[in-house]
A = this chain, B = another copy of it.
Amino acid sequence: MNTFGHILRLTTFGESHGPALGGVIDGFPAGVAVDMDFVRAELARRRPGQSALTTPRREADSVEILSGVFEGRTTGCPIGFIVRNENQHSADYDNLRDVFRPSHADYTYQARYGLRDHRGGGRSSARETVARCVGGALAKLALRPLGISVAAYTSQVGPIALSPDYRRYDLTLTETNPVRCPDPEAAEAMARLIADVKSRGDTVGGVVTGLIRGCPPGLGAPVFAKLHADLGAAMLSINAAKGFEYGAGFAGAEKCGSELNDEFYTGTDGRIHTRTNHSGGIQGGISNGEDVYFRVAFKPVATLLRNQATVDAAGRPATVHARGRHDPCVLPRAVPIVEAMAALTVLDHVLLARTVRI
């Protein structure tokens, strides 16, 4: 239940207020050069405290690789790693031991397990995603020599939304602003909205758009392991995700086949392409060589810095007022996590595709 992937498998563990989080990456190919500076840079993108838009909680997020790498290259053996928890304010959560925060996992954990680590959300803390970012960074390193790259950006915050056409934006601008939105003007408006929401002790949702370029034709599988089904499961497993669509997505549901079908032609490169890409680079669950793009909806963070009515563990009325340090908007930090999960999914399917013909 804590493992993702078919052949390339990431298993994560850890709670936000325990000694450490970490993971094991099994099935990672041997011989990949491990650029630890890149891994650390990827982790830094996820780290809180990067700007006024995110939680002021500071986490060093210093990853220690414990195995599976020898003299700078992966060995094919499992890559175990940990990230120590530091700078915890567990006492911030003492008042939450016996009360269920609205729209959090407190009540459902209690219902499932009969007990829970109430500090910082325990296992349901978004801090778990630090392990995904380590896995994703390594996956990106393995994909790079294959010419496959992954990118994501904030395409909506509250009602402020970019065009669904990712080709309109220069994605090299994504990291130039704290919102991680490639449209500088929209980024500013989003930043203002987040600041405004935060000042009211409130939070706001949004959408991340993901993009996989250089995907060769033939990745995916016909039925349950469709490339988009695996991508969807990957994205929906991220904290606060509420929806996933790829290609034309929900908007395509309104359309006719004559509007949405992607005509094939042979390009000047001698390869088969489609003139449009409503398919989102995936047909019948298998990549067709065009860009794979998708969108992930995130709800507003459930932790509000204001009074909320709820019940305690005995079912009696109670009030919660969060004290910890929290993100007013999950979007900026969700971007690297979306990339990480996409990279893991694609690398898994690259490896699977090696087994299709003998």
Contacts and interface: CB of A to CB of B under 8 A. Distances in A.
A56 interface: no
Contact of A66 (B3, B18, B117, B280): B18
Nearest to A313: B272
Contacts of A100: 264, 272
A32 B252 contact: no
A242 B252 contact: yes
Given A112-B76, A284-B124, A66 B255 contact: no
A317 interface: yes
Interface stretch (A38-46, A172-180, A219-227): A219-227
A153 interface: no
B288 A355 contact: no
Nearest to A7: B355
Interface string A121-154: 1111000100000000000001001100000000
Interface string A99-126: 0101111011101111111000111100
A282 B283 CA distance: 30
A117 B24 contact: no
A203 B258 CA distance: 7
Contacts of A206: 253
B283 A104 contact: yes
A77 B232 contact: no
Contacts of A220: 108, 112
Given A142-B358, A250-B250, A285-B124, A2 B261 contact: no
Given A245-B244, A255-B204, A264-B311, A20 B250 contact: no
A337 to B, nearest CB: 12
Interface in A335-354: 350-354
Given A113-B357, A245-B242, A354-B354, A2 B108 contact: no
A30 interface: yes
Given A1-B224, A1-B225, A257 B29 contact: no
B66 A112 contact: no
Interface in A190-215: 197, 200, 202-207
List of 5 A-B pairs having minimum Cβ-Cβ separation, nearest first: A105-B284, A243-B245, A13-B80, A108-B286, A111-B217
24 contacts: A1-B225, A13-B66, A15-B68, A18-B66, A29-B358, A30-B356, A75-B113, A105-B222, A112-B219, A112-B220, A114-B357, A142-B358, A158-B254, A205-B256, A205-B260, A242-B245, A249-B297, A252-B300, A256-B300, A257-B302, A260-B299, A261-B308, A266-B316, A351-B355
